[in-house]
Homo-oligomer: A and B are copies of this chain.
Amino acid sequence: MAHMTVGVEYGLHCLMWLMGSPDKPLSNRDLADLQGISTSFLAKIFPKLERAGIVAAFEGVKGGYRLARSPDQISVLEVVDAIEGKKPLFDCQEIRGRCAAFNGDPPRWATKGVCAIHAAMLRAEKAMRESLANQSLADIADEFGRKAPAEFFDDISQWIESRAVSKGPRGPSVD
């Protein structure tokens, strides 16, 4: 299994759509229908993004989620940590203390500080996290924006507009 679950992928894609719709909040259902993914799955992700201050929920007929901050102020790392928790790359079992030469009673020097093998992994984890911290939602959107034709953004605006109309006066809000 990959380190990052599909929740991160769905979450980041949803945030791209919210970024593209700053004036019209999108509900879980809007985001699920727009991307052909499960509403119930998104319902588990969004409370995490809200708690992390990445999205804000708006209740009411035209309710839904918006980004809570400017997309250049939201790093990919924040999104990953919000959805996955701070999952380590390497889960050290501290086997160094079990060396037969210690006869079950490892000396202090042997278990003091971080194991050198664990330290090597922590350096790699730091490099990975720094890379994710240095990439923002705006950076990803820029990359996407260079590929997508202008008509695509018009199509999406129309799709969102049509949803707002179909919601009617008593339509769903966040859900």
Task: State the A residues within 8 Å of B (CB).
Answer: 1-4, 6, 8-10, 12-13, 16, 33-37, 76, 87-93, 95-96, 98-101, 109-110, 112-113, 116-117, 119-121, 123-132, 135, 139-141, 143-144, 147-149, 152, 155-156, 159
Contacts and interface: CB of A to CB of B under 8 A. Distances in A.
A13 B117 contact: yes
Binding site of A, secondary structure by majority: helix, strand, loop or mixed?
helix
Total identical chains: 2
Contacts of A110: 147-148, 152
A123 B116 contact: no
Nearest to A141: B116
A117 B96 CA distance: 39
B101 A155 contact: yes
Nearest to A77: B124
Nearest to A114: B143
A93 B131 contact: no
Given A2-B90, A101-B159, A76 B120 contact: yes
A3 B89 contact: yes
Given A37-B95, A89-B128, A140-B117, A147 B109 contact: yes
Contacts of A93: 6, 9
Given A35-B99, A120-B140, A124-B131, 10 more contacts: A3-B89, A4-B91, A6-B91, A8-B90, A9-B90, A12-B120, A34-B100, A76-B121, A109-B148, A110-B152
A132 B89 CA distance: 12
A141 B119 CA distance: 12
A165 to B, nearest CB: 15
